[in-house]
Structure 1
Amino acid sequence: MDTISTSNTTAAITKESILAAYQYRHATKEFDSSRKISAEDFNFILETGRLSPSSFGFEPWKFVVLQSPEIREKLRPHAWGAQKQLPTASHFVLILARQPRDMAAGSDYTEAIIQDVQKLPSEVAEGKRKVYGAFLKTDFGLEGNERAIFEWGARQTYLPLGNMMTAAALIGIDSCPIEGFDKVKTEQILAAEGIMDPEHFGLACMVAFGYRTNEPRPKTRRTADQVVEWV
């Protein structure tokens, strides 16, 4: 048996229970709108997103929990992948990614993370700035390519996305990740509603949470031999 220890509690888990959660999880297309996730459970799900790792620890994301039925309905014409999820999900999350201006080396945002969140000693902070600048310019060649920088940040949002969906499955809550939307039109609505500042954020993906109405088909995946190579 595996254990997870904290200063206050020790929780016992098993490998089997984790794999069972992965087997249980599926992309739920329609939820039981009469069932709502408790505040305690959803805060737990959000916390697993907040604690997720990110490149250089810069956390280039924001989670917007969209509970307004009116705004959800405004998004539906432009979110073909969320037609059933938007009106039925207990909780619907918009995952935003930071814009290139915030992810640039030396930006106000990255400096705030280094100084106010990570609280690095001055010599360590200076070293991190140099390494990050070199990473953008040379290692990944992102500097000067705004679309590539945004996509790099958006790619990182899939770490909390996956963690939140797995955490939900572990406690019997369903989810569905969604990329099926018109990015430009959806972002225009979010900006007009005062939900998203387009100077600092763009929409990376969406994810719906709730309880399934129907049992899914058996899970299909390629075999381990087809997806894993040892060298």
Structure 2
Amino acid sequence: MADAKPWLTDVPSSIEQRHAPATMRNRDAIADLLRNILPAQGMILEIASGTGEHAVYFGQQFPELIFQPSDPDPECCQSIAAWTKRESMSNVLPPLQLDAQAGRWDVAKPAAILCINMVHISPWESSIGLFAKAASLLDPGAPLYLYGPYLRDGVETAPSNLDFERSLKSRDLRWGLRDVGDMDALAARNGFDRESLVEMPANNISLIYRKS
């Protein structure tokens, strides 16, 4: 059986409150980029929030926005709630148990959607579901933000990412690094245009799509 949470480490302070080491390494770089992407107001839906550390940190960095974290895993939803309670976050809503492959999402209309480090740790069908639901929820011009390691034609893949790819495949053959060209094609089929690709630390990239 695949390990559904390969990014987790030991619990920091309680059985519910989990920790993902990558969060501490990438949160500032992501927040700096989001300052130029997110709207001035509204609800920001995060898909596959994992431990909830990103949602809480972004809530602290953008107090004028409301963040709606979500995850299909009930243990992750417990962790999200625990982090939100620990940090006394009034602008981070209780987590929703949303699955990218589900038929529909029972969620209020967001002003933007964030999805960090999900695409490679899930079947391709999850990416299909993500874009389909984002297309039905977002208004024209609203952003869909993706972050993680990707493959690109004409760009040499870092050895660390190749090692990560092998590790992912050893857990679940349906997982793995996706090609940016495939992501762009999926986006186009759902009415999104890629606005930009931004190089990020540790051989990751940010993909910013806008609903056309």
Normalised-by-shorter TM-score class: under 0.3
When normalised by structure 2's length, the TM-score is: 0.25
When normalised by structure 1's length, the TM-score is: 0.23
More helix by share: 1
Greater RCO (CA < 8 Å, at least 6 residues apart): 1
